């Protein structure tokens, strides 16, 4: 697994690791035949990306699309936490409202077909899901949130 040089707390320790600058994600697997990358975000990172970091993230998605790369954004939160982001004790400082953040996410889905976001839960569940995704073929063809919500993965 390649870990981006800016990744402060890497998730993986049971795989051979290489630290290298990645242009648009935190992780990728070698060989990367599917050209799939993983970006993890805590709930506050998600809010920051969809508000103040929105234009930067759009440019990142465009650069990835130009290189035929696919990004799976893994959010360390349950979907219902995203809906109630302004009412959680650890996110009370976030000023952007949930409907605004999700509207922006939808706008990105309408513009780009080279990414998907998945609300996985806590860090332990996120690591478990990424480990399962690393073993999947043709990952771009799946709605990962549906697979997760349906307990298929």
Nearest partner of 78 among 44, 45, 37, 119, judged by Cα: 119
Report long-range pairs for 19-23 (Cβ below 8 Å, ≥24 apart): 23/60, 23/63, 23/64, 23/67
H/E run at residue 57: helix 54-66
Sign of CA dihedral 35, 30, 147, 45: negative
Tokens read off for 17: 């690791």
CA distances from 56 to 35, 47, 59, 71, 124 (A): 21, 13, 5, 15, 28
pTM: 0.88
The pLDDT tens digits for 92-137 are: 778 889 999 999 999 999 999 999 999 998 888 888 888 888 888 8
Higher pLDDT, 32 or 59: 59
The pLDDT tens digits for 51-104 are: 999 999 999 999 999 999 999 999 999 989 998 888 877 777 788 899 999 999
Q: How many CB atoms lie within 10 A of CB 124?
A: 10
pLDDT at 10 over 80: no
Q: What is the pLDDT of residue 13?
A: 65
């Amino acid at each position: 697994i390649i870990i981006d040089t800016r990744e402060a707390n890497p998730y993986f320790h049971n795989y051979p690791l290489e630290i290298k600058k990645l242009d648009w994600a935190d992780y990728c697997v070698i060989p990367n035949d599917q050209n799939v990358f993983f970006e993890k975000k805590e709930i506050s990172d998600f809010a920051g990306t969809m508000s103040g970091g929105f234009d930067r993230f759009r440019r990142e998605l465009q650069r990835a699309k130009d290189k035929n790369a696919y990004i799976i954004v893994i959010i360390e939160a349950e979907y219902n936490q995203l809906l109630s982001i302004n009412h959680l004790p650890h996110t009370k400082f976030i000023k952007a409202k949930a409907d605004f953040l999700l509207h922006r996410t939808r706008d990105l889905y309408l513009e780009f077909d080279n990414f998907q976001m998945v609300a996985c839960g806590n860090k332990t569940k996120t690591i478990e899901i990424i480990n399962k995704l690393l073993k999947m073929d043709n990952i771009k063809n799946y709605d990962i949130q549906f697979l997760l919500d349906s307990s298929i993965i």
